[in-house]
Amino acid sequence: MSPSSTDRSGRTTAAGLDLTTDERALLEGDRGAGTALAMRIVCGLASAVGASTLRPITSAHVDGCLYHGPSSLDFVRAVAADGAHVTVPTTLNIGGIDLRNPDTFLGPAAEGEHAAELMNAYVDLGCEPTFTCAPYQLPGRPGLGTHVAWAESNAIVFANSALGARTSRYGDFIDICAAVTGLVPDAGLHLTENRAARTVFRLEADEEVCDPSLLAALLGHVVGRRTGEDIPAVVGLDPAIVDESWLQAFGAAAASSGGVAMFHVVGVTPEAATLEDATQGRTDTRTEAVSVADLREALRELSTVDAEGALGAVSLGTPHMSAERLRQVADYFGGRRAAVPAFVSTSRVTVGENPRAATELVSCGVRIVTDTCTYVSKVMDPRGPVMTDSAKWAYYAPGNQGYDVVLASWRDCVDSAVAGRILRTEPQGV
């Protein structure tokens, strides 16, 4: 029988999979119908990707709490059957509404109610109500060589690249099934041999061509476009400019314009002390140059309008802003007041641990958005283009929400919010 066979109902069998007695018991319903369903999905994926065994995970990050329609609720209710519960520590990604400030939701009331119902259903399964797309900013993040099941493209790429944790590209459905069973297919990026760089990118521009965080966004966009789902390595960067915010911005950009689930920055990321480490000694890699012209093109692709004139709003914090950047942004506002609606998205945990920075921003007229994101949830009604420092926001917001967008450095975004019009000093060299 083929390892990926299905019976006539479409249900996948465990054919071709070498399951332990305990694993087989889950499939046979010893822990109830919900867990058995989760196990069928895990085994179905394992068969399809050619895994012969399953691997235990230590934690999970679940993206399925974002509402896509009635089927989102149908699924979580099916998984919850017979009291099923997550069996590993599980964090939750953003939902469709700021649960603690539901009045800020400007979309149809029913949509907001469904979004909240789904978020709460996942909490009822035992997931922690973190509601952040940056679980790597939470306490207890996974370390080098730890196997996890993370969903949300920017979280996946950060876990693999910056933390050296191991997760394949999980998404809706498989994320909670992995959390309930504690198991994933032993395949993909869980295996060392699949973590080698295939393409080497060299920046052929002065690093001071622009603000490091904007460089991260533009370079990530270019690398993602050219990489597809391969693993890239970036060489020739000064490690001093590559901090966690840089890796966050680069990864989010590359995972939006391409399917990048892991990258290496040679001399910085944990599996890339040297280029030979990053490529695992492979000699069949190709090398590509990224020029100033490529960065300029990326900036043009990620802005839908000319970078001057009227400004509708400013949105920072996609993916969710770190505590460090929250402090920097509050300091840079320095008590100046935003003249247009300004939004900072971050997690409720980061706000809770940094109340002063959050309070300072609010006193400058900034709206702090938690539990969701400004391109996913309808929380703004801009009367002009929106400025952002995020390549991911710039990539998705025009299609998702119909906003015009201008990409700029976060400092330019703050100065523009205060001025009430688009001011762009960066990138000087682009």
Partner 1 sequence: MSRAATILVGGEVTAPLKVLDEPLSFWGGFDSATGLIIDRHHPQFGDRLTGLAVHLPASRGSSSASSVLVEAVRAHTAPAALLLATPDQILLLGALVAYELYGRGPTVVLLETSHPIAERHPDPWPETRLTVTARGELQLHPSGARETQEE
Least spacing, CB of residue 69 vs partner 1, in Å: 4
Q: Judged by CB, which is closer to partner 1: 66, or 209?
A: 66
Identify any residues that bridge with 55 across adjacent strands, giving them in sequence order: 184
Q: Which two tokens stand for residue 350?
A: 């980061």
Do strands 54-56 and 183-185 pair parallel, antiparallel, or not at all (unpaired)?
antiparallel
2 touches partner 1 (CB under 8 A): yes
User: What x/- string results for residues 258 through 287 when contact with partner 1 is judged by CB under 8 A?
Assistant: -x----------------------------
Q: Provide DSSP, 272-330.
A: -SSHHHHHTT-S--EEEEEEHHHHHHHHHHT-SS-SSEE--EEEE-SS---HHHHHHHH
Find tokens 């929106």 and name the residue: 386
60 touches partner 1 (CB under 8 A): no
Least spacing, CB of residue 20 vs partner 1, in Å: 22
135 touches partner 1 (CB under 8 A): no
Q: Judged by CB, which is closer to partner 1: 49, or 292?
A: 49
| Alpha-carbon gap, residue 183 to 110, rounded angstroms | 35
393 touches partner 1 (CB under 8 A): no
151 touches partner 1 (CB under 8 A): yes
Rule CB under 8 A: choose which of 13, 64, 129, 212 binds partner 1.
64
158 touches partner 1 (CB under 8 A): no
| Alpha-carbon gap, residue 135 to 414, rounded angstroms | 25
Q: Judged by CB, which is closer to partner 1: 72, or 388?
A: 72
User: What x/- string results for residues 17 through 56 when contact with partner 1 is judged by CB under 8 A?
Assistant: --------------------x--xx--xx--xx-------
Least spacing, CB of residue 189 vs partner 1, in Å: 12
Q: Judged by CB, which is closer to partner 1: 40, or 367?
A: 40
Rule CB under 8 A: choose which of 57, 62, 66, 321 binds partner 1.
66
Rule CB under 8 A: choose which of 23, 63, 294, 426 binds partner 1.
63
Residue 382: helix, strand or coil by DSSP? coil
Identify any residues that bridge with 60 across adjacent strands, giving them in sequence order: 90, 149
Rule CB under 8 A: choose which of 1, 8, 110, 286 binds partner 1.
8
90 touches partner 1 (CB under 8 A): no
Measured on CA atoms in the order 345, 346, 347, 353, is the torsion positive or negative? negative
Q: Judged by CB, which is closer to partner 1: 10, or 281?
A: 10
| Alpha-carbon gap, residue 64 to 96, rounded angstroms | 11
| Alpha-carbon gap, residue 145 to 152, rounded angstroms | 20
| Alpha-carbon gap, residue 114 to 99, rounded angstroms | 11
N-terminal to C-terminal alpha carbon distance within the chain: 57
174 touches partner 1 (CB under 8 A): yes
Rule CB under 8 A: choose which of 141, 147, 166, 169 binds partner 1.
169
Least spacing, CB of residue 74 vs partner 1, in Å: 5
What is the length of the chain? 430
Taking alpha carbons only, the member of 152, 32, 79 closest to residue 396 is 152
Q: In terms of DSSP H, where are the helices of 182-233?
A: 212-227
* Piece of 109-117, 172-180, 197-205, 322-330 that binds partner 1 (CB under 8 A): 172-180
Taking alpha carbons only, the member of 134, 169, 124, 120 closest to residue 148 is 169
Rule CB under 8 A: choose which of 32, 126, 171, 270 binds partner 1.
171
| Alpha-carbon gap, residue 225 to 221, rounded angstroms | 6
Residues in contact with partner 1 by the rule CB under 8 A: 2, 4-6, 8-12, 37, 40-41, 44-45, 48-49, 63-64, 66, 68-72, 74-75, 78, 151-153, 169-174, 259, 396, 399-400
